[in-house]
Structure formats: C-alpha cells, structure tokens
Structure 1
Amino acid sequence: MSAVAVVGAGPVGLAAALAAHALGLDPVLLEARPRTAARPGSRAIFVHRATLDHLDRVSPGLGESVFAQGLVWRTKRTLWAGRQVHVRTYAPTAAVPFTSLPQTAVEDLLLRACDAAGIRSVWGDPVQEVHSTPAGVRLRTEGGAVHDAGHVIAADGARSRVRAQAGIALQGDTSTTEFVVLDVAADVRSDDAERVFHYRHPGAGGRNVLLVPFRGGWRVDVQCRAGDDARDLVARAPEWLPRVLPQAPDPRITWSSVYRFQQRVADRFTDAHRRVLLAGEAAHLLPPFGARGMNSGIGDAVAAARAVRAGSVDHYARSRRAAAEANVRAAGAALDHLLATGAGRRCLQWAAATASPVWPRAGHWLDTAPYGPRIRAVGY
C-alpha cells in the first residue's frame, strides 16, 4: 500500500507528488492520459512568486528553473477607448514577483523533477472506482489495476472522477458572458514586453481586451458582448487581430478557446473518512483572469501532502476551502467590474477614465480592478 496516491498529472498533481515525496510519503502518480498525449494551448501562463517558492521547497532548484524559462514583463499599461489612463514600469532592480510561460512548459519541468526523484507513475489508465474506508482507499482503473493507498490527493481536474466517486458536489455559478482566448506565436523579449488592458478597444468593436506576453508568444483575451457568437469571433480573428495586436502584424494563432467565468467550490474538500483530499480544479473552478487557478492549485497540492504527513486533513479541508472561497469572491468582483452592467458602475468607470490624467489613483483603480482584489497568499 502506498502512503498516498495522486490522481492526475497536471501541474497540481505533479506538485502534489513532489511534495509527498519530499515528505517521505512514497507517492504513486496515476494519470488517465498517455504520457505522450498532446496538450493543447498555453493554458495558465502566469506563475506567482509564492508558487515558485513552493516548487523550490518540494524540489530544490525547481522554482528557479521555472523562473529562468519564463518571461518577465515589467510594464503594465491600461487604456480607455484607445487613450492611456495608467502605466507603470518597474525598475530592473525591483524584486520580480512572477514569471510568464505556458503551462505545458511548467508541466514538463515538474515531470522531469518527478522522474529525477524516482516517483512511480502510471499513465494511460483512468481511475474508474474509488472506495474509501476508515483504513484507506482502494482505486480501481479502467484497465482493471488496483491501487491501495492510505490517502488520495485528487488532482484530476474539473470533471474529477475521484470527486464524483466521493459524492462531493461543486457549488457556485458560471457566467453567461463568454470570453475568447487566443495564443499568438511571437518572439517576445523581456525588455519591451508589456501587459496591456484595453477598455472598449476601438480595434475590437469596443470590446474589452487583455494582452499578456509570455515566453513564446502573446495571450489575447477578448470579452464578448451581448449577442456575440464567440466561435464566429474566433473564426474571424485574422481580420481583427492585427488591429488589436500590432506587435504581430501577421499573427500565427497556435491555439484558441472560448470560456466563461467559473466561480465554483466543492462543498467539502475531503470525504467522510478523511482519506480523499481534493486539490486544484477538482476542488474549485476559477476564471483565467487574476491567474488564480494553477497558482492556488499548487498551493493546495503542497498543503495536501503536508496534511497527509501530519494527520491534519480536517485543517487542510477548512483552510484550503476558505482560500478557494476568497478567490471566488475576488473573481466575482472582477467579473462585476468587467461586465459593468449597472449604470452607476459604468458612470464610475467613465469618471475614473476622465479623471485619470489629473488623478493617478483613478487610473490605478482602472488598471487593477479587472483582476479582482489582491489576496494575500494563504499559508499552511
């Protein structure tokens, strides 16, 4: 019997396996996909400093390797209908709180660290049944294999089979407004990279647009308007993208997707026997705005391994659910600001944009509000 089985080999599951190994728990990693399966898109591209620190603790040097592969942008700029309302550039000597690179690159580095640590892994055999008892958990896969473990860390994503088998439900809301996200290939340099948010971009039909550089390209995030056909907007991207992203006049789109703001949290983060611990998207669904998903999930992963080692699963369930609820509230505040459905909110934004040339705090508010309030990293 393994002390802990980790289900799911995305960034959260890989981090959980590394954390468990660092604590001497001899984990086994179980992943439904074949190891060589293609992984589309850059997905999460923003790695917080707290996450880099977590990775360094579970595998010395790993956080620094992730940082070195990523891109650091030091200027953030916000415009209103094409007019600049805020800009800030951090000095090269300032402490860097993040790095920006595709999730696939993060996963590759995590997987290499797992391999180097000798962590056992089983690929291409989905978990089908989860039977939890006071003494441990038995997992049965689609191929008929049986894995017994003292605890299970479920990091198997938004459609978590483990969560469903444990009888745990997600609670919360999904927005009706759609967002289009595109990856555009480009050679972006740190010295001229900027994060740019446009309110009412004139080149995108007055839609809100977020541009974020990362190692290897640009993330373009467009907020659809009422009545938009999001997939038609994706299909017509070659027409409007050069107006939105002049840094890439002949854009090569490498990935596209349509998403809605998810604000959902599991009603419990552990099963009745305190043997199954949910982490990452198995435990909470958050929108890309604010870079909360992968970062909070890796925080879950490290805390879950510590809880198994310390026998403090109840504390894990309470503290990480509280962290997820705080992230959901922040995401809700961000969505309310982006939608600006009420006349009062729209007038407030317009007034801030008008006042920004003489009142910098107004421009700063317009710059930060689309991502929701900043949340202090929740420790364990």
Structure 2
Amino acid sequence: MVRASTDMSGGYALPVFPFKRPPELDGHRRRYRVVVIGAGLAGLTAAVDLAQHGIDVVVLDEDNTVGVRGASSRGICYAQRSLEIFARLGIAERVLARGVTWSVTKVLSGDTVLYEYDLARTHTSLQPPFVNLQQFYIEWFLADRFEELKTGEIRWSSRVTGVVAHDDHTVLDVTTPAGDYRLEADWVLDAEGASSFVRETLGLQVSGERTPDRWCITDVRVNAPLPHERWTWVDAPFNEGRGVWQHLMADDVWRLDFQMDEHCDPAVVSRTEVAEARVRKMLGDVPFELIWVGPYFYRTQLLDSFRHRRILFLGDAAHVKSPFGARGGNSGIQDADNLVWKLALVLRGEADEALLATYDEERRAAAQTNIRVTQRSGRFMRPANDAEHLFRRAVLSLAGEHAFARSLLNTGRLCTPHDYRGMSGFGAQGEGVGASIPNLALSERGVTISLMTLAARANGRLMLFVDAACANLDAMLCGLAALPVVVHVLGRDIDAGEAARAQLRLPVAGAALIRPDSHLAAIVERADAANVRAAVARALAQPVLQPEMPI
C-alpha cells in the first residue's frame, strides 16, 4: 500500500507506484484470462470486481500514479449507485470517511434561489445520495483494494503500443522503462479513456461532436464555513452572467467551475492571477488558497459497438459526454458493474458468451440516454440560438413563483441508475422489472446485513428472493440446484421490513430474481422450478428450454 503526503500546497500530492519487471521481459510467455487497459475509475472498478470473483487479471497503465499528475480534482461527485458498488467492492467506508456527503441541491439566478431540493426526502439506500471526493482518491482506494485481494497485478508504467484482435484472443504490445514485450489475453477490457489507443488503432467507428462551451476548474481551500450543498448559478453576477458550480470536496477544498466565454484563450483564463481575481469576485474578502486551476471543454462521443471480437470497451473509451449531472465517471463505474458479473459467469462456464451481448445493448442505451440528457443541460446553460435564449429567460423569470417552470430548470439532471426495461434480458415486464434495487437493509438470523453484502457473497451469480409461503418450496429449490443462482427465502433465512419487501417487488408466495448488479431481472408470480428456470435463462441470454409459464 503506497502512501504520499496530503500536503496540498502548490497542488495535489499523488502516490507513486513502483515499476515491477514483468516476466515477459525475461522470456516467459503465457496467455492471461483478462487484461484491463487503464487504471482509471472504470478500469480499476472492473479489476477489483474481477479479483473479488477470483479471476486473475492484469491491469496495464502507462503512468505510475492515480489521477493525472499535477492535475485537478477531475471527477468529484459519486452517486448513490456508484457508492453501492463501492460497498460491494469493499471501499465504501474509505470513500465516506474521506469525502463530503451531501443531498441538497440549489439552482440560483443572480442572488435568488430558484429551486431547492433535498435528495434525502426519497432516499431508501444504505448509501447516501452523493459523496464529493477528488477522483484520484477513489482510484487510490481501488488500487489499494486490488492489492489487498492479491489476485492479479497492476503493471504501472506500461503503455500499450500495439494491438491485434483475433476471434479467440487479443495480442498486445507493451512498452515499459525496462523494454518492450508482447502478451496475449483471452479477453481485454479497454478503459483507456476518451483517447483510447486500442479503439483508434482498430479504426472503430465513433459518432459525436465538440461543443463551443468552455469552462475553467478552480480548486480552492476556503477559510470560511460554506454549506455542504450543490449550488449552481445559471447566470452568476460575479462571472459576467455565466454559469458557476460550487462543491465542497475532501481536505476543505472547494471545487468551483466557471463557465467561460466560448472565444476565450484557455491559457489566459487559467493564469493564477486571473483565476484568483475570479474567485475573489465570487467570495469577496473571504481568505482562500488556490490549489489548482485548469481549463476544459467537452465533447460527445459514442462507440458504435462496445465489443470488438474479444475486446470490450467501457468508460470514456466507449462513450464521452459533458460533465453535467455527474454522468461521466459514474457511468464508467456502472459499465464495469454491468460487465464483470457477466464475464465472470462466461469464464467459469456458467453462462454462454451470448450473455456479453447484453452488455453492449444495455450500456450503450445508458450512454445514449446520458448523452441526450447532458446535451439538453448544455443547451440550457449555453443557449445555441435566439429561441433557446428566449426559452431560458422565460424559465428564469417564472421559476421563482411557478413549480412548472422550476421543473424546466436544467443545470444538470443528476446521475441515476439506468432502467433496462424492455431490453432482451428481462422478458415479460412486471412493475419495476429492469430497474435498479437500492442497497436495502435486511436481516439474517437477527443480524443486520445489506443487499450489497448478499451480492458480494453471490460471487457473480443471480439472487433469487423467494417468499417462504411459496407452495412446494423445497421441491422448487431442488429444481434450481444446477443454476448459477443463490436463493434467499424471506421469512426463513432472511427477513425484510415492509418497505424493503416492496422495493424487492416480492409477490406473496412468489419470487423476485435480482442480478448481481442489483437490477430486477424478473418477478415470478407463481414460483415453481419451471418458471424460475425460464426467468434465469432469459436473464443469462440463454434459450428457454422448458415450456413457458406465466410470469
């Protein structure tokens, strides 16, 4: 476990991970089951998940640290669903201890609060709605967790410089400080980021566009109490009528995002003296320390398919969108959550390779939704024409008094789990089928546990919650013995309160099938072995061999 100073004077202090000479440089050759390219959010989430499944994985990263050396906080807002994934992976407590929990979001025009909402009002998960934490901390915790699991290795200072994709494996060329080598992998997960070398080398098609929107991140330590809330100014008077975001992160550092003129010079707006003047105009006489400044622009980008032969793409290597609503890093984490249990079942021979097609179907649909949602937010924050300017002015003028106008304020629809309703793995739809189930509090023999605890134990297998009142229960359970399913009988070995049972959508004398990524796969009104087997087959993209019964 590598440690570094947390003294942030002059910038962030990041850990340095040592380069270890790989065996290939000494003539040893083997084919690895899984290689992950990129030790960012998506790549490390996938690597830790694979390691928890007991699958040996090699992670390749061209740098020797987390985050970006000398760079900013980058992603900071981690949504409930990502925090639930972190709970399953064993790092949630570290994230909560270091980060800043918040649930209140406000939208302002000038000095007027137009909209305020507390996400805790409708909250049912054991994890909070949001935690703010600099991205490098999350990556650091994931890297430490991977080392704790002692399954596989992270090869730092190892840059992929060549790729050849075959139908049954992939060959990678790797450059290191000690020389170059070649390795083979049954499966490659490409999480390199928006400028993926693998994607570009293979010439895979992407669609997207650049936007004229320009922003400048300014991380400051403020010597004054400020609310632990998300504040968004649509037209901040201290920023020439342009947008501003304000978030508290770890180490008493505030993340301030200032919208810039689209024709600005990035080098000028990010100068120390210019950034300090901008912050001083915002905060007044409040003392502050400048930690980091950096300009950015964003673009949309979507890969035509998230799979190419034995290579699977996730995170920014597969899709890029604007940061509105924290839909960037969170979606990459959720890509890994969707993919790894499926790949684990395939590698263990418990599911057919056809299951991986659902990763492309489901997560590409999620990416399309995120891109569409963030594009609308971007157009509200920077209208593209006179009609959009007129619409925004009307919304701002009416939002103070009219609820319908407040619902039209669009400064970034906050990240939520994607609803896979209607997709191929979910069969006949019941209420809520395809939706994400929050991390519920349950009881096992009088001890409080969580849904994520059960998901971690399931080791990539589906979870079947069965009502103890189910007819012929023992016979049904015997009929499921060969399936990759872990059964929990509510009212016998697991207890759930009324609210938790409602979240599980568990019918009386029936069953609810939940995937390892906690999405509801099926509601089985009449829980017998044939019906459950059919639901499991659909969830695993396998043929339903038995005659179908009503579900």
Listed as ranges, the gaps of 5+ residues in structure 1 are: none
Task: Tell me which residue corresponds to 1:155.
Answer: 191
Kindly indicate whether residue 399 of structure 2 is the aligned counterpart of residue 356 of structure 1: yes
* TM value normalised by structure 1: 0.90
Cα distance in 2 for residues equivalent to 1:163 and 1:85: 43
- Alignment coverage as a number of residue pairs: 372
Candidates 137, 144, 166, aligned match of 2:170: 137
In the aligned structure 2, how far is the partner of 1:41 from the partner of 1:313?
A: 35
Length-normalised TM-score, structure 2: 0.63
Verify the 8 A CA contact 1:70 1:100 in the aligned structure 2: yes
Report the alpha carbon displacement of residue 238 of structure 1 after superposing the two structures with TM: 1.2
Report the CA distance between 1:101 and its aligned residue: 0.5
Return the match for 2:412 from 330, 352, 371: 371
Equivalent residues of 2:123, 2:129 under 8 A apart: no
Alpha-carbon distance between aligned partners in 1 of 2:39 and 2:243, rounded to the nearest angstrom: 34
From the superposition, tell whether residues 18 and 303 of structure 1 become closer, same or farther in structure 2 (CA, over 3 Å).
same
Tell me how far apart the structure 1 counterparts of residues 207 and 224 of structure 2 sit (CA, whole Å). Answer: 39
User: Given that residues 326 and 375 in structure 1 are in contact (C-alpha distance below 8 angstroms), is that contact kept between their aligned partners in structure 2?
Assistant: no
Residue 20 of structure 1 pairs with residue 50 of structure 2: yes
Superposition pairs of residues 43-62 of structure 1, within 5 angstroms: 43-57=74-88, 59=89, 61-62=90-91
Residue pair 1:86, 1:360 contacting (<8 A) in 2 also: no
Match of 2:244 in 1: 209
1:109, distance to aligned residue in structure 2 (A): 0.7
What residue number does 2:317 align with? 282
Within 5 Å, which residues of 2 pair with 1:220-231? Answer: 220-231=256-267
SS in 2 for 1:332: helix
Cross-structure match for 2:104: 75
Q: CA RMSD in A?
A: 2.4
Percent identical across equivalent pairs? Answer: 26
**Offset of 1:250 from its aligned partner?**
2.9
Alignment pair present for 1:85 and 2:114: yes
CA shift at 1:364, angstroms?
4.5
For residues 107-128 of structure 1, the C-alpha deviation after alignment (integer angstroms, 9 at most, x for no partner) is: 1110110000113121112111
- How far apart, CA to CA, are the structure 2 residues paired with 1:292 and 1:165? 27
SS in 2 for 1:157: coil
Offset of 1:69 from its aligned partner?
Answer: 1.8
Whether 1:240 aligns to 2:283 is no
Indicate how the Cα distance of structure 1 residues 243 and 269 shifts in structure 2: closer, same or farther if over 3 A, else same.
same
**For residue 315 of structure 1, what is the aligned residue in structure 2?**
358
* 1:184 corresponding residue in structure 2: 220
| Structure 2 unaligned spans of 5+ | 1-30, 347-352, 420-435, 437-516, 518-551
Amino acid at match of 2:302: V
How far apart in 2 are the matches of 1:374 and 1:125? Answer: 33
- 1:56 to 1:42, Cα distance in 2 relative to 1, 3 A: same
- Residue of structure 1 in register with 2:379 after alignment: 336
The amino acid that maps onto 1:232 is: V
Distance 1:98 1:374, change over 3 A: closer
In our comparison, the structure showing a higher alpha carbon Rg is 2
- Which letter does structure 1 place at the counterpart of 2:91? L
Q: Does 1:114 align with 2:149?
A: no
Indicate the structure whose relative CO is greater, using CA pairs within 8 Å and at least 6 residues apart: 1
Name the counterpart of 1:193. 228
Q: 1:38, 1:228 → 2: CA distance?
A: 25
Give how far 1:93 is off.
11
Counterpart residue identity of residue 350, structure 1: R
Q: Does residue 63 in structure 1 map to residue 96 in structure 2?
A: no
1:268 aligns with 2:305: yes
Matched residue, 1:169: 205
1:29 matched residue in structure 2: 59
> What SS is found at the alignment partner of 1:6?
strand
Map Cα deviations across residues 121-158 of structure 1 (whole Å, 9 max, x no partner).
21112111112212211212123222221100011111
Where 2:50 maps in the other structure, the secondary structure is helix
Instruction: Indicate if the aligned counterparts of 1:263 and 1:331 stay in contact, CA closer than 8 A.
Output: no
In the alignment, what sits opposite 1:259? 296
Q: Which amino acid counterpart does residue 46 of structure 1 have in structure 2?
A: C
Per-residue Cα deviation, 1:148-180 (whole angstroms, up to 9, x for no partner): 211000111111112223331321001022111
> What's the CA shift string for 1:171-210, capped at 9, x where partnerless?
1001022111111124787x83221111221111212111
The partner residue of 1:103 within 135, 152, 157 is 135
Corresponding residue SS for 1:13 = helix
Query: How far apart are the structure 2 equivalents of 1:50 and 1:141?
Result: 34
CA distance in 2, matches of 1:241, 1:79: 17
